[in-house]
Amino acid sequence: MVTLLLDQTQLEVVLSPIERAATFHRENVRIPRDTITKVQLTDDAWTWLRGVPNPGTHIPTVLAAGSWKAAGTLDFVLIRRRRPSVVIDLEGDPQYNRLILTTRHGLALTQALRLEVSDEPASVEEIVATAPTPVSKGSRRPVIRPRPA
């Protein structure tokens, strides 16, 4: 599964050597943070797959990896079997329209994108683990006391 690093300016998808070979990418995928418009969690990433590998690797229901081209769009895909995944819609990115990634850290990513982060890239699960817990104010119910007779 991919490692997701996040800083103030970008999301970085860190690829292992095997993932680099399967996706035909020499370097990690870097996405400007301001191009991320929507993040969705899914249990079946295969339903989000569109188009054909260009270049990429496709073994049905086992592995889909690389760039996928369909009707004027280009998606970066790294799907393994039927595992929890995240779908990241992009707008204004010069290369991709969507990322579809198998990762168990999808919930941590959605939470980390809502937080202020440092200038140094950090793993999304570390960002969420070290973030302060928000305290809700004003959620107490008023006390109702009977009037004296």
Digit-coded pLDDT (tens) for 38-81: 999 999 999 999 999 989 999 998 999 999 999 889 999 999 99
Strand order in the sheet with 10-14: 29-32, 10-14, 3-6, 122-123
Provide the pLDDT for residue 117: 74
pLDDT digits (tens, 9 = 90+) for 93-146: 999 999 999 988 888 888 888 877 777 788 887 877 777 655 445 555 555 566
22 or 143, higher pLDDT: 22
For the CA atoms of 107, 21, 28, 64, the dihedral, rounded to the nearest 10 degrees, stands at: -30
